[in-house]
């Protein structure tokens, strides 16, 4: 027995519409360049941060400030 030749299937959604949907869904990540942390060079930087620090380095900085404030108060 021979297989029947199936007719070519037509796409359900036009190619142009698919391309527009892909661009609109992932457009934000493509346009914005990835900012790197100035300390550890990690690519995850908070979008509202003006310090260019990742969350780990930012927390370490805050902890260091707290420790230095405690030491200054102890010396007085």
Q: Are 17 and 24 in contact (CB under 8 A)?
A: no
Whether 48 is covered by a domain: the verdict is yes
Q: Domain of residue 24: give its range.
A: 15-75
pLDDT tens, per residue, the chain with 76 residues? 788 887 778 878 888 998 888 888 765 554 556 678 888 988 877 777 788 888 899 899 999 988 887 777 766 6
Whether 63 is covered by a domain: the verdict is yes
**Alpha-carbon span 74 to 68, nearest angstrom:** 10
- Report how many domains make up the chain: 1
Which 3-state string (H, E, C) describes the chain?
A: CCCCCCCCCCCCCCHHHHHHHHHHHHHHHHHCCCCCCCCCCCCCCCCCCCCCCCHHHHHHHHHHHHHHHHHHHHHC
Whether 9 is covered by a domain: the verdict is no
Residue 60 has a pLDDT of 93
């Amino acid at each position: 027995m021979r297989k029947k030749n199936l007719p070519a299937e037509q796409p359900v959604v036009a190619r142009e519409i698919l391309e527009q949907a892909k661009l609109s869904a992932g457009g934000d990540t493509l346009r914005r360049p990835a900012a790197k942390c100035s300390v550890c060079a990690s690519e995850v930087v908070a979008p509202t941060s003006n310090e260019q620090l990742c969350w780990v380095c930012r927390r370490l900085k805050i902890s260091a400030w707290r420790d230095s404030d405690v030491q200054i108060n102890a010396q007085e």
